[in-house]
Structure 1
Amino acid sequence: MRLAILLCTVAFSVYAQLEPKKYTTLPLGQIMPAGWLSDQLDIQTNGMAGHLHEFYNYVKDSDWIGGSSAYSSLEEAGSYWFNGIVPHAVLTNHAELKQRTLEFLTYVLDHQEDGGWLGPEAGNNRTRYLWGRYPFFFGAIQMAENDPSLTDRIVDALHKFVPLANKMVKAGEGLEIWTNTRWEDFVMTLQWLYDYHPNGNEELLLDTMKWMKWTGDPWEQIWQEEIFPTTEVDNIENPTGYVLTWHGVNMAEGLKALPATYRFTSNQTDLDLASSGWDLLFKYHGRPSGIYGADEYLAGREATRGSELCIVVEAMFSGNYLFQVIGETKFLDQVERIAYNALPGTLTGDMWARQYDQQQNQVAAKNMTPNPFYVNSAYSNVFGLEPYYPCCTVNHPQGWPKFIANSFLFNTAQTELVHAHLGPATVSTTMANGNAVKITVDTLYPFSDSISYSITADAPFKFTVRIPVWIQAPTVNGIGILPSDGLYSVDIEAGETSIELGLPAEIVTEERLHNAIAVHRGPLNYALDITFDRTIIKNNTNEPRASDYEFAATSDWSYAIDPSTLEYSYTEPDGGILPSPIFDEGKPLGIITVMACPIEWELAGDTFVKPPPESPECIGDFEKIALTPYGATKLRIGEFPVVSSRS
């Protein structure tokens, strides 16, 4: 049936213009991190991400420079690494990493097959699958936008690849179960070519987009409310038959599928389903840390089930794209929650170790007995170089730099500049009619409640700021404002303009399973920071800093809290500079205190905590405990049983 629809669609379609996105990204490098965000990228440079090319077998230089056919295969590892390190290198202006990405790009393009194929399968009889190239394409596009001298060669290589891919897909070649869920990434590459460098190939590009969709998994079926899973899917059969669409990373990437489809179908239903599907995912599987549960497949809302690091960075990328096409700020709100909680929460502060799966309630990081995850191994919540699969090792570096690179956007006409993700940055860009604009964003947000903008412009333009949903009484220059659909616009005149944005936030609680609650203030989720002993359980002989560690709790964690006693306190940092790394034990400046009492709360085996007791009883006196931002905790309680301290 799908093939018949496909043949009809391709045979009788009218090749029209793509629907424009509501917002477009600025070329890579026109937005640069500042303040604590710049420090985060410096830490990532000095952590495993900035050194993988030196020692990690999948991506180290010797595997692809000098003619080896094993240059990470463009099957997954090399593509992932390239996709993340390209924006990282540009946003840190790191000469060595920029040179490494240029060498990687050059090597891949130099070895493109005459027929168009890109990757180590060129010139041999290795089986060819399309998907492994897609992250490489994203990295190459970013390089073209940052360095126009590379654009022609990258565009020519992509246009040489597209006819081959079109032919392969029509013949049923290059497709397998992973390619069939991730076709939207190639469609986005095709749409970039169509929008900026069509080279007279509009019909072929559109034709290939349609073939990718109609030979791939139908995400419009997955997001139907009546069949979407409302609990963990451990023992549930996917009624669509497309089993891998419930896989956590595939779903994170698949969130982009219907917005990408809308651009060539103009079908409003595609956007409606994308928006409602996002809501379903976070309603039934969401975590207070911002991400959803999937260890390896959708895992419901239990606090000890896992969330893979790859879904963190892929959901961030997809949420940005959803906003750019649909325009609903709920996507940006969620991405900001993920970036400021789940992303740092699954990495050590120095970014030399990461988990495969993080937990909202995580009282140990060790080889677990028994294992709370239905599919993933008992080693998945260890901090190290590659606990369980290595994909997160090479994929996680895209998280911070792409968050920053998507923090400002143009409207389609480039007459409006939107501050989409709030944090310290500088912008230097040219808008419509040659209007040169520079913006400095001075802020400690989300660790403070104010943002200062210094703007210079050659001509007037509209400046729009996203006002997050958790801000109830925002102000501009001390005067209350009323955002519209999460956005507030200011008409900027030529010359110099200063804006003071006030974003006061209140403590709020979120109801979770088992009558438990989570605690939030602004975009930050707050958790009990459990101290721990760190023990090396696997040495890395190539790079000792990339060893695997077991974390064993050394402080009490079995508390119930009285939410009526929650109080926020904040200490101004010395010199206005946050401690570094800010997402590490004992570093955050803002804490929430709460009255709590010890309770009986058992472990499941010796490794993870049981669900929060639904009717806890105090077994000791009340005391005041401190909750800190989730992202700074490595062992934590983030969903608490509730009691009253007022008898």
Structure 2
Amino acid sequence: MIRSQGRHVWIAALGLILGTPHSGFAEPPRAGRIEANALEPLPLGRIKPTGWLKRQLEIQAAGLGGCLDEFWPDIKSSAWIGGKAEGWERVPYWLDGLVPLAYLNDEPALKAKVKRFVDTILEHQQPDGWLGPIGDAAGHQPYDPWPLFPLFKAFLQYEQATADPRVIPALLRCARKLDKVLDQTPLSNWGKMRAADLSTALYALHDRVREPWLIDLARKAFAQSYDWRAHFDDFKFTGKTQGKFELDTHGVNTAMGLKYGPVRYRISGDPKDRDSVFSMLEILDKYHGQATGMFTCDEHLAGRSPSQGTELCTVVEAMYSLETAIAITGDARLGDRLEKITFNALPATFKKDMTAHQYDQQCNQVVCKREGEHVYVDNGPDSNLYGLEPNFGCCTANFHQGWPKFASNLWMKTPGGGLAVVAYAPCIVETEIQGKPVKVEVRTDYPFRDAIEIVVTVPEPMTFPLELRVPEWSPPLMIEGTNVTVQRVGPPRNEGAGYQAMNARWSGSTVVRFALPSEFRLYRGDHDSVAVERGPLVFALPIGAEWKKLKDNPIFADWEVYPTTPWNYALEIDPANLAKSLSLEQSPLNASGSLFSVDAAPISLQVKGRRLESWKIERGAAAPPPRSPARSDAPLEELRLIPYGCTDLRITEFPMLVRSSGR
């Protein structure tokens, strides 16, 4: 027996769920059968970000994310709202991120912007049911299905947040028209490659109305789709795809394709579909992987060099694919990958006030300039500039979904009538369990600190489980709390990520505490280079940066960034004894601004290294890292590494020095 704030709390069971997905939610028999999700996402607004995550969303709202409709023609004057500018993907992309941003921030001005666009689109639904323009002045074909995929996702989120009664009927009318369109003109181009996004939206619509024809439409979309599982079962693109500019090597398509198998599993019932995401990630890591958990694509798959780029659209679409796949599979390993991408690749590709973004980021990013030769497969010279729409405007419209959807998917419901942690970040969850209101507050500065505190508040004594994700790099949780001590029971945890389930009788407000400590790890990169990891964070050497304004935009500006400090170092590291080679330092946390900035980095590592004068810039980027072990007669220096997401210019993948006594 244990106590919480004067009330008894009985821990009925504390066990581990390892290596096997949740069994899923039972559904009533019906035509158009669909496999249940292993975890149930919560409706938009049930999870509210707090702490550093809330500040991150507020920064996004004050930056490009909340302002595009005020000055960017592709939103301000879009054909979606009666203008003459692009009437294809950019408004749907923007709404898909702006809707959750507005409602998670509970920001009246942003909500008003969302409502204006939603009202206009609904009020101008075509007589045949189609939503949006039928072609546009930019030359996009009439009845192109692709823009509807993000539009459906945006409208379904809006309906969750507002209960607007117009949304579901409008989507059903549009889906009926789309069904006829696909009979006449099967999916092609972007729609063919991205069919899983349409099916994801159709499943969600089906969950609302239980119309079997929606599942039949999803089957039709998959029958007309590009088969990403088959693509990776016979993967041919094992190097930089120079001269191969097809949709099957396109980075954003590939990121969206990560969820293809799990999404198809819901109608195929084939476990190989469900599990295909893991082999896809393994193959991408092997041939195109980066230390951030992402893969190269500038614009197409580009090999493992840390100087190749990764498109911002690819980052946010990979996050969404993982969030979708986590709900379907219930597999904790995907939560590890989601955190790694979110805490590293996502924040690194923005100016820290989010008034500018890059099209491509580089793990070894030593200069961002327009002039001269560039290393990309086929992207242009503006690609790693920080600006409004460097290279191409799709990322300008689409990046908005990254942070808000991450916040919206931090927790999900379990088949056992409880809640599971998908990813750790400060938030408040307000939902119903057993028909009663339950509040769960996560108080933490993770990933910058190890400690996590969860406060569970119930209106009367209740019993339900919390399933806490244990990352692959963490030991089993030792849970303590206010008058609560819970010892782990059951068999020892195997290697790999899993869930540690705490089934408790809750009463009043109960506080549970635990930590996610981690040892240092080495990521093995291109040319035997290494990157340093701890927990979900990747560490990089920040390079002094001189920001040069290229031009002013109606709001904000475009920038080049030039290095002002040396970057070409090899590290003195003993892989067998990382604790001896590296030391951890913590700084006070910035209480008001972003923690993802060079000056505010709340955690850093100290390591020794030597300059490698032969390692220089080639084709506008750092040359591939010299092979390890590298030799240098330069003096040994103390280097400070900070979280990758805090950097602007950086070296992430380093050569290792020949081991010696040093000097």
Same-fold call, TM > 0.5?
yes
SS in structure 1 at match of 2:640: strand
How far off its partner does 1:624 sit? 0.9
2:587–2:601 Cα contact (<8 Å) kept? no
SS, match of residue 620 in structure 1: coil
**1:294-313 equivalent positions in 2, closer than 5 A:** 294-313=297-316
Deviations, residues 180-199 of structure 1 (Å, cap 9, x unaligned): 1011111111111222223x
- Contact map agreement 2:470 2:476 (CA 8 A) in 1: no
Aligned equivalent of 1:9: none
Q: Residues 275 and 473 of structure 1: is their aligned pair in 2 closer, same or farther, counting only changes over 3 Å?
A: closer
Contact 1:595 1:645 in 2 (8 A): no
Equivalent residue for 1:593?
A: 606
Q: Aligned partners of 1:58 and 1:285: how far apart in 2? A: 33
Partner of 2:625: 612
The percent of aligned pairs where both chains have the same amino acid is 32
Distance change in 2, residues 1:475/1:368 (3 Å): farther
Q: Which residue of 2 aligns with 1:489?
A: 501
CA distance in structure 1 between the partners assigned to 2:487 and 2:449 by the alignment:
18
The residue that corresponds to 1:448 in the other structure is: 449
Q: Is 1:180 the equivalent of 2:196?
A: no
The residue type paired with residue 420 of structure 1 is: V
Which residue of 222, 228, 240 corresponds with 1:232?
A: 240
Please say if 1:80 is aligned against 2:93: yes
In structure 2, which of residues 153, 158, 172 is the aligned counterpart of residue 143 of structure 1? 158
Structure 1 residue identity aligned to 2:268: T
CA gap 1:479/1:512 in 2 versus in 1, 3 angstroms: farther
Note the alpha carbon deviations across 1:542-585, whole angstroms, 9 max, x for none: 11x2x111101000111111123532333352xx6546221112
Task: Output the amino acid matched with 2:502.
Answer: V
Q: Which residue of 2 aligns with 1:197?
A: 209
Describe how 1:376-395 pairs up with structure 2 within 5 A: 376-395=379-398
Q: Which amino acid aligns with 2:56?
A: Q
- Which of 504, 514, 527 lines up with 1:501 in the alignment? 514
SS at match of 1:469: coil
Partner of 1:154: 167
Q: Deviations over 1:107-126 (max 9, x none)?
A: 11111112111112289996
Q: CA 1:332/1:530 → structure 2, altered by over 3 Å: closer, same or farther?
A: same
Q: Output one character per residue of 1:424-467: Cα deviation in whole Å (capped at 9) or x when no partner.
A: 11111112x30311011110000001101111124221111111
**Matched-pair contact (CA < 8 Å) for 1:64–1:104:** no
Residues 360-439 of structure 1: matches in 2 within 5 Å? Answer: 360-412=363-415, 415-431=417-433, 433-439=434-440
1:566 aligns with 2:568: no
Alignment of 1:49 with 2:50, yes or no, is no
2: CA distance, partners of 1:71 / 1:365: 30
Superposed CA offset, 1:508-548 (max 9, x none): 111112121110011000000001111111221x11x2x11
Distance of 2:538 and 2:634 partners within structure 1: 27
Change over 3 Å in CA distance of 1:126–1:635 after alignment to 2: closer
Distance 2:584 2:222 in 1: 51
Give me the TM-score of the superposition, normalised by structure 2.
0.89
Within the alignment, does 1:222 sit opposite 2:235 as a pair? no
Aligned counterparts of 2:144 and 2:337: Cα–Cα separation in 1: 33
**Structure 1 residue 472 displacement after superposition:** 2.8
Tell me which residue corresponds to 1:551. Answer: 561
Deviation at 1:337, TM superposition (A): 0.4
| Cα gap change, 1:184 to 1:500, in 2 (>3 Å) | same
SS at match of 1:364: coil
Matches within 5 A, 1:237-316: 243-316=246-319
Aligned to 1:23: 39
Q: Is the 8 A contact 2:411 2:420 kept in 1?
A: yes
Shift of residue 506, structure 1, vs aligned partner: 1.1
The residue aligned with 1:240 is none
Partner of 2:148: 133
**1:212 and 2:221 are equivalent in the alignment:** yes
Greater relative CO (CA pairs within 8 A, separation 6+): 2
Amino acid at match of 1:435: K
Letter in 2 for 1:213: F
**Residue 119 (str. 1) matches residue 129 (str. 2):** no
Query: Helix, strand or coil for the counterpart of 2:390?
Result: coil
Contact 2:288 2:302 in 1 (8 A): yes
Is 1:20–1:412's contact at 8 Å kept on the other side of the alignment? no
Deviations 1:481-509 (A, max 9, x none): 45575111112323221100111111111
Instruction: Map Cα deviations across residues 138-171 of structure 1 (whole Å, 9 max, x no partner).
Output: 11111111122x1x31110111112211111111
Pairing 1:83-98 to 2, within 5 Å after superposition? 83-98=96-111
Residue identity matched to 2:450? D
Q: Which amino acid aligns with 1:146?
A: A
Identify unmatched segments of 5+ residues in structure 2: 1-29, 575-579
CA contact (8 A) 1:601 1:612 kept: no
Other-structure match for 2:549 = 536
Contact kept in structure 1, 2:375 and 2:619, CA below 8 Å = no
**Correspondent of 2:643 among 629, 632, 641:** 629
- CA-based RMSD: 2.1
1:69 and 1:120 in contact (8 A); partners too: no
Match of 1:357 among 332, 355, 360: 360
Q: Which amino acid aligns with 2:231?
A: I
The one-letter amino acid of 2:542's match is D
2:64 is paired with a residue whose SS is: coil
2:349 is the alignment partner of 1:333: no
* TM superposition shift of 1:368: 4.9
CA distance in 2, matches of 1:519, 1:579: 28
CA distance in 2, matches of 1:490, 1:114: 53
Q: Distance in 2 between matches of 1:396 and 1:272?
A: 27
Residue type of the partner of 1:143? Y
Q: Deviations over 1:406-440 (max 9, x none)?
A: 00101246x11011110111111112x30311011
> How far did 1:209 drift?
1.1
- Asked if 1 retains the 8 angstrom alpha-carbon contact of 2:456 and 2:506, the reply is no
| One-letter amino acid of the counterpart of residue 560, structure 2 | E
The answer as to whether partners of 1:473 and 1:480 remain within 8 angstroms in 2 is no
- For residue 646 of structure 1, what is the aligned residue in structure 2? 661
Task: State how far apart, in whole Å, the 2-side matches of 1:359 and 1:82 are.
Answer: 28
Q: Offset of 1:282 from its aligned partner?
A: 2.4
Report the alpha carbon displacement of residue 233 of structure 1 after superposing the two structures with TM.
2.2
TM-score under structure 1 normalisation?
A: 0.91
| Gap change, CA 1:338 and 1:167, over 3 Å in 2 | same
- Going from structure 1 to structure 2, the CA distance change for 1:645 and 1:378 (only over 3 Å counts) comes to farther
Q: Is the 8 A contact 1:430 1:437 kept in 2?
A: yes
Please list every run of at least 4 consecutive aligned residues from structure 1 whose deviation after the TM superposition is greater than 3 angstroms.
62-65, 69-72, 122-126, 478-485, 576-579
Distance (Å, rounded) in 1 between the aligned partners of 2:603 and 2:135? 54
Aligned to 2:5: none
Whole-Å separation in 1 of the counterparts to 2:121 and 2:176: 18
Shift of the 56–610 alpha-carbon distance from structure 1 to 2, 3 Å rule, reads same
Partners of 1:358 and 1:488 in 2: CA distance: 35
| 2:444 partner amino acid | T
Instruction: Report the alpha carbon displacement of residue 220 of structure 1 after superposing the two structures with TM.
Output: 2.5
1:72, distance to aligned residue in structure 2 (A): 4.9
Separation of aligned partners in 1, 2:661 and 2:371: 38
Task: Give the aligned partner of residue 3 of structure 1.
Answer: none
